[in-house]
Amino acid sequence: MTSRVTTISAVREAVAGARAAGKTVGLVPTMGALHEGHLSLMRRARTDNDLVVASIFVNPTQFGPAEDLQRYPRDLGRDLALAGGAGVDMVFAPEPGEMYPPGYATWVEVEGLGERLCGTARPRHFRGVTTVVAKLLDICRPDRAYFGLKDGQQFVIIRRMAQDLNLPVEIVGCPTIREPDGLAMSSRNVYLTIDERAQAPAIHRALRAAESAIAIGERDAPTLRRIVGEKVGEASLARAEYVEVVATEDLLPVARIQGECLIALAVWFGKTRLIDNIFVEG
């Protein structure tokens, strides 16, 4: 049976009880509107830990003034049922005032990495993400915290934050879960019109084309960018915001694939912005 708590003190109390009993703790931070991607993180956390906590909090500080905070899909009853089915023991669903009381003034920022890729169009987005994740990690003090690799830049930034701040937590990246036609699962997919939804798998086809080129030896980053850009361009409703090949170390563009790199893109379909990526090794 999944319990639902709304206060920081209730989470701390439950985690302290589990710790006193020698249990391990896993945390799955989410903004709700749960889909298979989130549920895969929860199931993985269930396998790895004794106590599984999920947070459901539409974090206002990671939305820009012109972004979709108000219309972001919310259905707590449905989310609680899904989280319970995936093995979550406790859902932390705070009100905004619990996380950001009046006068709140402290921010956690990973310099540089948060300004690139999605950070160019969403200037304070990653500062909001790292701040809320740092708070959630401190509230819950988990052994492991789980994030989807679909948000590749977010994963790289959170991993760096944990490393730089010496946080005693393992940041676990879990594979992107896709629809049968390849579209990465995202809470924002519900915004797509029927025509946009039909064309959106072009993003995954583009990444697969890059993967195939790498498999036969291509390492040149501009060539890979061109391959991805051209494939996305085959979808008439797609408008690419960026296509980049970057090193995961600093998220700066590379000339060739060497070490761990990320091929990442953001694409608009009408009013909906979709992101996707692949991690590649050279």
Report the catalytic residues. 38
CB under 6 A: which stretch of 28-36, 85-93, 177-185, 194-202 binds ligand PAF? 28-36
Which of 150, 168, 147 is CA-nearest to residue 158?
Answer: 147
Q: Does 202 bind ligand PAF (CB under 6 A)?
A: no
The tokens of 220 are what?
Answer: 């040149």
DSSP class per residue in 121-186: HSTTHHHHHHHHHHHHHHHH--SEEEEETTSHHHHHHHHHHHHHTT-S-EEEEEPPPB-TTSPBP-
Q: Does 134 bind ligand PAF (CB under 6 A)?
A: no
Which residue number, 86 or 227, has a Cβ lying nearer to ligand PAF?
86
**Total Cβ atoms within 10 A of residue 240:** 16
Residue 51 CA to residue 245 CA, distance in Å, equals: 38
Q: Does 31 bind ligand PAF (CB under 6 A)?
A: yes
Which residue in 133, 137, 206, 221 binds ligand PAF (CB under 6 A)?
A: 133
Those residues whose C-beta lies under 8 Å from the C-beta of residue 180, and which sit 6 or more positions away, are none
Residues 141-180, one symbol each (x = binds ligand PAF by CB under 6 A, - = not), give ----------x--x--------------------------
Which residue number, 210 or 274, has a Cβ lying nearer to ligand PAF?
274
| Residues contacting ligand PAF: total by CB under 6 A | 10
Q: How does strand 272-281 pair with strand 260-269?
A: antiparallel
Which residue number, 89 or 151, has a Cβ lying nearer to ligand PAF?
151
Residues 61-90, interacting with ligand PAF (CB under 6 A): 62
Q: Contact 58/95 with Cβ under 8 angstroms?
A: no
Q: Does 26 bind ligand PAF (CB under 6 A)?
A: no
Q: Does 129 bind ligand PAF (CB under 6 A)?
A: yes
The tokens of 118 are what?
Answer: 């999605």
Q: Name the site residues for ligand PAF (rule: CB under 6 A).
A: 29-31, 59, 62, 129, 132-133, 151, 154
